[in-house]
Amino acid sequence: MLRNKNIILGVCGSIAAYKSAVLVRLLVKAGANVKVILTADAANFITPLTLATLSKNPVYTKYFEEETGVWSNHVELGLWADYMIIAPASANTLSKMANGICDNLLSAVYLSAKCPVYFAPAMDLDMWKHESTKENVSKLLTFGNIMIAPTSGELASGLHGEGRMAEPEEIISFISAIIRKSLPLIGKKAMVTAGPTYEPIDPVRFIGNHSSGKMGFAIADELARLGAEVVLITGPTAEKNKQQLQRIDVITAAEMLDACTANFKGTDITVMSAAVADYTPVNVAAQKIKKTETVFQIELKKTTDILAQLGQLKDSNQFLVGFALETENEEEHAKAKLIKKNLDLIVLNSLQDKGAGFKKDTNKITIFNRSADKTTYEMKSKVEVAKDICLEILKLI
């Protein structure tokens, strides 16, 4: 849930600040990008060096560093963050947050943040029970902030009661659970195909195409980011996933067919973006073919149309998306494919568009739905194109 998320961790003056080192380590281990803001009092409990080493980023302590001349832009930090966590949140900082007091970098970033803000209070029992603290917490909750409630136990004062900051593992679990519940595709299963297929001629050579798999991988990552349980079936490619998902590697069109039919049942969303070979050699030589003939012929046979087969198998609860890469009469071919193969959406891209197509980091697409509604997009990165495609899927399901 936290992979590739930008997280600001605010650390306040409390003995519980020692737990922030573990929290940073767990956030980084979960794949998050972490920047730490340390208040002046917090630096009495834990050093910036410790948190900088664990986060792999400089630690922010004040607006302006006299020695280096570096200014910490609180607005940029607030906009950078996907989530802000203040842990430990002292009584003093809670009061500042609740009343808009902006006398340090942490409170300035908090007031600038546009993202969800989580706070994990840590203080002694009497401070936690005080009416002013209760009032401040209530105000923060009405602002939309989310509290990770303190637990009971032995406190630094020697008293026993409520006020201990939640453990770092509990904080990670708490935030991950909330993120998971908010994702639109939670509980949905998705299958995505990507990359080329290689059809062997002999043990050395093959028939293939120029597909890199970039578009399919971006779609699989975006579906996983939206909460879906994703199976990615990919031909040979050097691409790597950024999200956690199940990956199945295949080489030939026949292997991709087997993997797709084995995983299609029970799938809610299927996006077929792989460039599957239309033909494969009838005979594959057992040994490397020697360069002896001036003219050499290879007899080819049609491969099974995987997209059409899945279109026949799908039920009314399954959503099927196909791709059409065309060089002429693009829209007519795409719309015909949409109907013929029983698709819910078809994504058209043309090799006539500069910057679109195989091996590029960008793409330019047009999407048609079953009602023949047409949406055309400008040239974008394939990551952004994947978001557009998934947004269109979300609209229709």
Return averaged pLDDT per consecutive 10 residues of the chain, 397 residues in all.
89 94 95 93 94 93 69 81 95 95 92 94 90 96 94 74 87 90 92 97 94 95 94 96 92 98 96 96 94 92 96 95 85 92 92 66 91 91 95 94
Residues 78 and 119 in one domain: yes
Query: In which domain, by residue range, is 282 found?
Result: 189-396
Cα separation of 112 and 50, whole Å?
A: 26
pLDDT for 124: 86
* The two structure tokens encoding residue 253: 């069109």
CA distances from 254 to 56, 72, 239 (A): 45, 56, 21
1 found inside a domain: no
Which pLDDT score, from 0 to 100, does residue 164 have? 85
Phi and psi torsions of 127, nearest 5°: -65, -40
Q: How many residues appear in the chain?
A: 397
The tokens 């409630």 sit on which residue? 149
**Model pLDDT, residue 68:** 62
> Is there a single domain that holds both residue 302 and residue 368?
yes
Provide the pairing of β-strand 300-302 with 279-281.
antiparallel
Active-site hit among 73, 92, 209, 369: 209
If asked whether residues 102 and 218 sit together in one domain, one would say no
Q: Are residues 65 and 23 in the same domain?
A: yes
Give 214's Cβ-side CA count (13 Å radius): 16
Is residue 163 located within the same domain as residue 86?
yes
Task: Quickly tell me which residue has 């994990």 as its tokens.
Answer: 120
CA 101 to chain centre: 35
As for how many domains the chain has, the answer is: 2
For residues 104 and 226, state if they share a domain: no
Cross-strand bridge partners of residue 349: 325
Q: Clarify whether residues 81 and 112 are in a common domain.
A: yes
Known catalytic residue at 145: no
| Model confidence, pTM | 0.74
